[in-house]
Chains A and B, each alone.
Chain A
Amino acid sequence: MEFNIHSIVFLIFSVITLGGGLGTVTSRNLIHGAVYLIVSLFGVAGLFILLSAPFLAAIQVLVYIGAIAILIIFAVMLTRSMTRMTEIYNRQWSLSLVVSALLFVLLLVGIILPVWGPGTANAALQPSELVATTVDLGVAFVDGNQFVLPFEVASLLLTAAMIGAIVIARDRD
């Protein structure tokens, strides 16, 4: 692999993504954790742009960072007692570390490297010069021969989730 601008940018975004992820799961203060989460989500948005999916990158920033991460920060502030918690991990944190590391190794050695790793037929796979655009994505969502059914169902799911969340979180009737 030669070093060009693309691979350097990939490296930067990957480090942001994974570093933010590590910060999220290790921060003692949950507000810091939420900020790290935002950093990590930005890294993912960058990877989406590298993968020529600008629409998803925009959604990532708008929905994930703009809505979900902010919602999490709200929740942290509404349930404030634990921002000054003395211990963040449960008793099995060392076991959890082993399990997660093992899972990573298994995924890598068992699935990813044998199918797509260096030396396999898929390793030389290069993305095409031309790629479908956001217009194609939009058409796919509303085309009866493609994904209109899950699209409509997802909107019902969001409605039910919103109403349910309001009912549960409301203070009094």
Chain B
Amino acid sequence: MGNEFDFLTHLPAIMPEIGLAILAIVVLGLDLFLPESRRRSIALVAGIGLAALALTPLLWGPPAVPTGIGPEEQNQVLLFWGGMVRHDVLAQVFKVMVLLAGAFTSLMSIDVNGIGRKGEFYLTIIVATLGASLMSAAADLIMIFVALETTTIPLYILAGFKRNDGRSAESGMKYFLFGSFMSAVMLYGLSLLYGFTGQTNIYALADFLTSPAFGENPVPVLGAMVLILVGFGFKISAVPFHFWTPDVYEGAPTPVTAYVSVASKAASFALLLRFLVAVFPADMMIGGAEIHGFWVQLAAVTAVITMTLGNVVALAQRNIKRLLAYSSIAQAGYTLIGLAAIGAQEQSVAAVAFYMFMYTFTNLLAFAVVVLFSEATGSETIADLAGLSRRSPWLALTMTIALLSLGGVPPAAGFFGKFFLFQAAVAADLTWLAIYGVLMSIIALYYYLVVVKVMYVDRSEDESKPIPMSRPYAWVLGVTSIAVLILGTVGAQVVFDWALANASTLFA
């Protein structure tokens, strides 16, 4: 090997992962030594530990990139561990997201029957977070595969974690069977990409694919791309690979549902963005066919179908978890608009990052309310939310904030999230897509407001029974709803501008 490997220069790139590995061991040790009565503190250790680790990507930020250097030199500065990970701003932002998602998920599991006092549960969440964190940075086909599976396999475990609950086991099985099939398909596509080029680093692939030695026929590359996108489609639950979503979301323990809908989805979007931009860049032509245009159109069409199906089917749901599942399918559709708007370069990347950032807080907030409600009442139907405003005003208020944010109503963060996405679409000459997105958000508003109406207007006979809330939940609800409100008012432009200014490192 020509250049000596210097451990210390490579360490900052994986600081969060090292912290997560240590935290995993600590949690496992606590599970072993703490008596049953004090196991509750495991959740606190895991939650606070993950929240503290969310600072590490900020403390050990990416190295400064000198301005005016070409893509090759830029990659030399930013690629670490033999090209396995790229330590850039995109990775930084999404790592913070998944770590926070892990932290809030741990805290909201604390009083959940059957999982709250199990150290193994938090261990599995921490390992899944480690995978998701690496997914945000992975820059090599091998690393992508290992990181994807390190996220997904623990999620199968988490979905089936309540082993005495038939619904949880069934959810785990469906997730496992679909997930491992889809990852096998995706893996075949990855192996073909490796075969085309003999390379595994995604930043080296594009050069080989466009070289004349490879050939003039675009079909093989498109075929491999479609196989890989099938895997991604599953992960972000884009139609037509969404069919597992409602069942898995409904059956899995609710904190797990929250985690799957947020961390796994955000990390998949980060990886998808990085992968497509690096491997099939804007000027890529093979045999006269525009490879770039193909996936952009594919993303636009998928966005339309996904938004439509998610929103229309959500209208008919009676179970709050299924409603949120279809809502999350629709949200993936909106985010795909940002991906299709990649012609707007930095603006599109910043819009996707901002949308996922605010969606993380919003969905965690909504699911935290569902966790509290269903643990107290044992019910998950929307009709049973009746009178929530009188049973527990704070719960109803925070749920309303979450639903307004999902629906895109100011002052909640969802409004600016959608605004930036549609703005990027217009900037990329996809005005029709932006208009369609606006129409879809209006339809979606209906089913979100129905839930608000049920909580505030409908009466029920249980109104005198308050819903108990322990301190960790109060913290989760408070922090996430304040974050949603800040991102929807004063914080929106600041965060977006920061993302916009730094997104250029993604484009070589």
Q: Which residues of A contact B (CB under 8 A)?
A: 106-107, 110-111, 114-116, 120-121, 143-150, 153-154, 156-157, 159-161, 163-165, 167-170
Do A144 and B7 have beta carbons less than 8 Å apart? yes
**Nearest-CB residue, chain A, relative to B134:** A153
**Residues from chain B with Cβ under 8 Å of A116 in the complex:** 195
Residues 216-262 of B contacting A (Cβ, < 8 Å): 217, 219-220, 223-224
**Nearest-CB residue, chain A, relative to B82:** A145
Do A164 and B157 have beta carbons less than 8 Å apart? yes
B446 within 8 A of partner (CB): no
Contact with A along B393-407 (1 / 0, CB 8 A): 000000000000000
Do B85 and A149 have beta carbons less than 8 Å apart? yes
A75 → chain B, closest Cβ, in Å? 12
Q: What is the bound-complex CA distance between A164 and B176, given in angstroms?
A: 13
In the complex, which of the residues A150, A161, A169 has the most CB atoms of chain B within 10 Å of its own CB atom? A150
Contact with A along B126-154 (1 / 0, CB 8 A): 01101100100000101100110110011
**Nearest-CB residue, chain B, relative to A170:** B163
Do A111 and B5 have beta carbons less than 8 Å apart? no
Do A107 and B14 have beta carbons less than 8 Å apart? no
Q: A160-B127, A164-B124 are in contact. Are A111 and B146 (CB under 8 A)?
A: no
**Residues from chain B with Cβ under 8 Å of A165 in the complex:** 157
10 nearest interchain CB pairs? A164-B157, A144-B5, A160-B127, A145-B82, A150-B146, A111-B220, A149-B81, A149-B84, A157-B150, A111-B223
Q: A110-B220, A121-B213 are in contact. Are A164 and B81 (CB under 8 A)?
A: no
Contact with A along B49-90 (1 / 0, CB 8 A): 000000000000000000000000000000001101100000
> Per a CB cutoff under 8 Å, which of A114, A146, A157 touches B217?
A114
**Residues from chain A with Cβ under 8 Å of B215 in the complex:** 114-115, 120-121
Q: What is the bound-complex CA distance between A11 and B161, given in angstroms?
A: 45
In the complex, which of the residues A116, A120, A153, A167 has the most CB atoms of chain B within 10 Å of its own CB atom? A153
B490 within 8 A of partner (CB): no
**Residues from chain A with Cβ under 8 Å of B147 in the complex:** 150, 153
Main secondary structure of the interface of B (DSSP, over half): helix
B196 within 8 A of partner (CB): yes
What are 11 A-B residue pairs whose CB atoms fall within 8 Å in the complex? A111-B220, A115-B196, A115-B220, A120-B215, A143-B82, A144-B10, A145-B81, A148-B81, A149-B14, A163-B123, A164-B157
Q: A157-B131, A168-B160 are in contact. Are A146 and B82 (CB under 8 A)?
A: yes
Q: A110-B219, A114-B215, A145-B82 are in contact. Are A157 and B153 (CB under 8 A)?
A: yes
Q: A110-B219, A143-B5, A168-B161 are in contact. Are A156 and B130 (CB under 8 A)?
A: yes
Q: What is the bound-complex CA distance between A121 and B172, given in angstroms?
A: 47
**Nearest-CB residue, chain A, relative to B169:** A168
A102 → chain B, closest Cβ, in Å? 13
Do B81 and A107 have beta carbons less than 8 Å apart? no
**Nearest-CB residue, chain B, relative to A107:** B223
B395 → chain A, closest Cβ, in Å? 31
**Residues from chain B with Cβ under 8 Å of A164 in the complex:** 120, 124, 153-154, 157-158
**Nearest-CB residue, chain A, relative to B18:** A152
Do B217 and A160 have beta carbons less than 8 Å apart? no
**Nearest-CB residue, chain B, relative to A106:** B223
B470 within 8 A of partner (CB): no
Q: A115-B196, A157-B153, A164-B120 are in contact. Are A150 and B161 (CB under 8 A)?
A: no
**Residues from chain A with Cβ under 8 Å of B128 in the complex:** 160
Do B157 and A145 have beta carbons less than 8 Å apart? no
Do A156 and B118 have beta carbons less than 8 Å apart? no
Residues 93-133 of B contacting A (Cβ, < 8 Å): 118, 120, 123-124, 127-128, 130-131
Residues 159-218 of B contacting A (Cβ, < 8 Å): 160-161, 163, 172, 192, 195-196, 213-215, 217
B21 within 8 A of partner (CB): yes
Excluding A115-B196, A154-B146, 4 further A-B contacts by CB distance (< 8 Å) are A110-B220, A121-B213, A144-B82, A160-B128
B24 within 8 A of partner (CB): yes
> Per a CB cutoff under 8 Å, which of B3, B85, B161, B163 touches A145?
B3
A121 → chain B, closest Cβ, in Å? 7
Do B196 and A153 have beta carbons less than 8 Å apart? no
